[in-house]
Amino acid sequence: MIENIKKIFMEKMQTKEDQPVGNQEKVSIATCALLLEMAHADSEFSDQEKTRIVAILNKNFNLTGDDARELMNLADLERKESLDLWQFTHLINQNYSRGEKLKVVETLWQVIYTDGKVDKHEEYLMRKLTFLLNLHHQDMIEAKFKARDL
């Protein structure tokens, strides 16, 4: 089933020359999987968090609402099948610059702040992801303040 969903998504994410996006699509899935993991960290995935993630995907990956929801479905399947988060952060580390990774951390904070509070599980996951993305604690704090002030 997941192969069929991947195939459908790959067909929708074609360039003008009808070539699959490939690596960018994989990084998009990895990034979305981290956003979903963060949304689920406090054991509550609200409609507001879902809406926030769709908005982030629309803005950062230039997707329509339908394509963003399809990306979320695919990323959620990948997230549920994964053993850990390393596979996602490793892919991001291989393909994103430091600045792009900082933007990922900022969007993760945006998901956390959707409900107006920071849960201890969200804070723990953020520290772990910051480490896995090869960023510093100070980077995490700066992204937190930036996201909080939005």
DSSP string, 17-72: TS-B-THHHHHHHHHHHHHHHHHHTTS---HHHHHHHHHHHHHHH---HHHHHHHH
Architecture category of domain 2-8+23-148 in CATH: Orthogonal Bundle (1.10)
Amino acid at 13: M
d(CA 125, CA 29) in angstroms, rounded, equals 18
Identify which of 103, 129, 34 has the alpha carbon closest to the alpha carbon of residue 72.
34
Query: Residue 11: what pLDDT?
Result: 52
pLDDT tens for the chain, 150 residues long, are: 445 545 555 554 443 344 444 688 899 999 999 999 999 999 889 999 999 999 999 999 999 889 999 999 999 999 999 999 999 999 999 999 999 999 999 999 999 999 888 999 999 999 999 999 999 999 999 999 999 887
